[in-house]
Structure 1
């Protein structure tokens, strides 16, 4: 059952930004790689939020090794100063990169399990001498297995959105109201989606960039000819403070700062009300078919027609159950990485450079990279993932010097401290300006609206 692991390929799970970059770096080093992608095309998850514009520029969204691989194909790098949409990113960079990798990318391959061949997670004997067995199903339902010397899980977190319930579990009645609840930023350019929200009262639950995007989009709809009666109710678990809307003009990613200002304008201009200090416990239907959000303190909000839940994403670890992972008990990120990305302490721009050592696990030869490596932390940027996979690929190739040479400068948000204080009472936030008691608030003065920017779940971009 054993096979020399050095003669086996590295299996990369996921043909998204980090997975394809990992494959490019491994290919550049002359190593065999096999990318398993569940979708029918590259960047399947990115395409699902293709209508959203990123707040990172093209210069920050392409990987150097990938660019070298693409150069002989005639690929032309887009304008580095522009911020693409998710669809642009997929069509103009990620799919061409997958095409350049050729047969190394296999589509319609859903990974169902990873283990040491012939060894479950309990067995120690000769464990590290065994290759990895990666099980997957094909698009036509056939079960297959491939052996790998190393495994890079770049499958992301997009498929596992967090629920509305403030305790991390679905709120009571949340599943029963699934027909009226979405966990994605709505694409209001789609006529069917637009009709769902136009003239309706929509609750937006969340405090990150995805919530900003949804609020700005709903505000634009409210100002349009077909948007009469459109209104948003913004549900926050914390109060409104100086950092609620991000760094504004102090943000080193201008589009990210503008996004927060657009959300602020939605409230200032009366297109959205902010409900602060509200932790959702239940979703109930009223007699007229509306949805009533009930808080942990038994407070009940006015009925809404739709609910958009943007409370973050979480990793799917189910198919790694036979692998010995070392994960932080809170973030579900690699143990050594977790303190560096803890959203209670760090924003996107204050995350320290890290590489293969911080991404390693008790099971040698397996790495979680990209959004998957951040677990539940929302502070990920694409350029972070590119540096991760450069280091990991160098480690796999045995180039320890290059693997340890991790250098990365990230753009600051302009927000002091981290973004994870959403459950901390305002009195403990060092001068927060709101109490955590539920309240409808109107804040500040108007600010110019901005183009929507960000996919669900933090700073990815």
Structure 2
């Protein structure tokens, strides 16, 4: 006869086998707790692999977690040169996959979490709620379903799977869903011949005003110099002002500043037309092309393709039966939201935070990593590692460690970023003078990796 495990004997379920989810698992193992990582994709870092051509702004020294390194040490793993900058592909293959291998059967791949609740209690019921374990509902790759009992749930599923639509009101524009064959929500990898052929000689609208939009404009501008007929239309919801292109040569992240200047050059050199104050209301078909219509009735000339780069948002649908405390604007934890408001802060001005800022009315549920930032756009891996260090300490009952800050971030975030270095000496050595010196020479274009908005 088998005894029924107590809540404290149940595993801590971690949703997502990305950088922060795997770090959470490593911290749990280090504290003698049993993690169970559920990953919808087929391998570690599935989302990271989707942007494998992107070079991070952060060097290796700032994208590996100390608890993870400790877990990896017995396997003979050693961190790559801490001053060099990995691509997403490097990060996945040289760190995330070995870490997943070290965690072994504590990770289940091809498992999608479809719901989280208190066992036997919907979100309305108070009675006995805190004494109940969590019931994590899952769907396997073959379509079968199951439930897993958990003592706590750490949601590190990120936001990659839920890009924001082109509609200016935050909802899909009229006709957007029907036109998805000609719409992309990711920065295209123009080094891929098939992707390159999709945009070569075509007229493409780029919607967005951040680093991802700059990257797309820069790459399309280079393609325009090689392939006649290639043209970009840059659509901004606001006007163009002093801050539209970022900090330029004075930017504290040299790669980001150079990227903004490259986008500016794309417009000034005639490779892209800027359309300002355009809030997309509808997408209409005109033969094999698309016509974008603004809320004020303006209609743009037809385009062949549309690249929508308007940010990401958290998928909260499978958390509907647990009690979350979220900011009404950012959809981030209530105590964290004022610290990450993009109207006030950059990634480097958000102080390290942990269990206090990430707790919810439902005890034992935590959103971490990019998902904890809701719709705020910029996130550092180091911040996520500190989040899970604090949370796992709290789950283990070490409240002193949970409330202690063990991370010091540079005031400007990651100063020596290499977002669009193309294997330059600075990218490999980290000698780009960071935020304080003159930027190194940056090559931006098809041969260079795309920019990463975080890390």
Q: TM-score of the superposition, structure 2-length normalised?
A: 0.89
CA deviations 1:33-64 (Å, max 9, x no partner) are: 11000011011111111122222222221111
What is the rounded CA distance, in whole Å, between the counterparts of 1:296 and 1:452 in structure 2?
A: 35
Per-residue Cα deviation, 1:323-347 (whole angstroms, up to 9, x for no partner): 0111111111111111111112112
Name which of 57, 61, 68 aligns with 2:59. 57
Instruction: Give yes or no for the alignment of 1:145 onto 2:139.
Output: no
For the Cα contact (< 8 Å) 1:259–1:453, is it kept in 2?
Answer: no
Question: 1:342 aligns to what?
Answer: 341
CA gap 1:21/1:210 in 2 versus in 1, 3 angstroms? same
1:274-353 to 2 correspondence within 5 Å? 274-286=274-286, 288-353=287-352
**What residue is the counterpart of 1:11 in the other structure?**
13
Answer yes or no: is the 8 Å Cα contact 1:5–1:148 preserved in 2.
yes
Deviation at 1:79, TM superposition (A): 2.0
- Counterpart Cα distance in 2 of 1:65 and 1:109: 25
Contact 2:53–2:449 (Cα < 8 Å) also in 1: no
CA contact (8 A) 1:284 1:293 kept: yes
Residues 218-264 of structure 1 show CA distances to partners (whole Å, capped at 9, x for unaligned) of 1222223xx22211111111122222222333344333333323322
Moved more, 403-412 or 299-308: 403-412
Determine the structure 1 residue equivalent to 2:423.
none
Which residue does 2:381 correspond to in 1?
A: 382
Aligned residues: 424
Map 1:384-403 onto structure 2 (within 5 A): 384-403=383-402
Q: Is the 8 A contact 1:151 1:367 kept in 2?
A: yes
Distance 1:45 1:374 in 2: 17
What's the offset of the Cα at 1:412? 2.3
> Counterpart of 1:20 in 2: which secondary structure?
helix
CA RMSD, 1 decimal: 2.0
Specify the alignment match of 2:266 in structure 1: 266
The 3 A distance-change label for structure 1 pair 276 and 449 is farther
Distance 1:349 1:218, change over 3 A: same
| Superposed displacement of residue 147, structure 1 | 0.8
**Residue matched to 2:435:** none
How far apart, CA to CA, are the structure 2 residues paired with 1:356 and 1:413? 21
- C-alpha distance after superposition, 1:196-230 (max 9, x if no partner): 10011111101111111211221222223xx2221
Counterpart Cα distance in 2 of 1:448 and 1:94: 28
Q: Measure the CA separation in 2 of the matches of 1:81 and 1:216.
A: 26
Work out the CA distance in 2 between the residues paired with 1:159 and 1:410.
Answer: 30
* In the alignment, structure 1 residue 45 sits paired with structure 2 residue 50: no
CA distance in structure 2 between the partners assigned to 1:181 and 1:215 by the alignment: 16
Contact 1:280 1:295 in 2 (8 A): yes
Gaps of 5+ in 1: 416-446
Report the TM-score, using the length of structure 1 for normalisation.
0.88
Change (3 A) 1:252 1:395: farther
2:451, 2:5 → 1: CA distance? 44
Shifted more, 246-255 versus 302-311: the winner is 246-255
Picking from 88, 91, 102, the partner of 2:90 is: 88
Post-superposition Cα deviations, 1:88-131, rounded to whole Å, max 9, x if no partner, equal 11111111111111111111111011111111111111100001
Q: Deviation of residue 449 (structure 1)?
A: 4.6
Secondary structure in 2 matching 1:403: helix
Equivalent residue runs for 1:148-187 within 5 Å: 148-187=150-189
Matched, 1:205 2:207: yes
Task: Give ranges in structure 2 of 5+ residues lacking alignment.
Answer: 416-440
Q: Indicate whether 1:32 and 2:34 are aligned.
A: yes
Shift of residue 413, structure 1, vs aligned partner: 7.1
| Partner in structure 1 of residue 431 of structure 2 | none
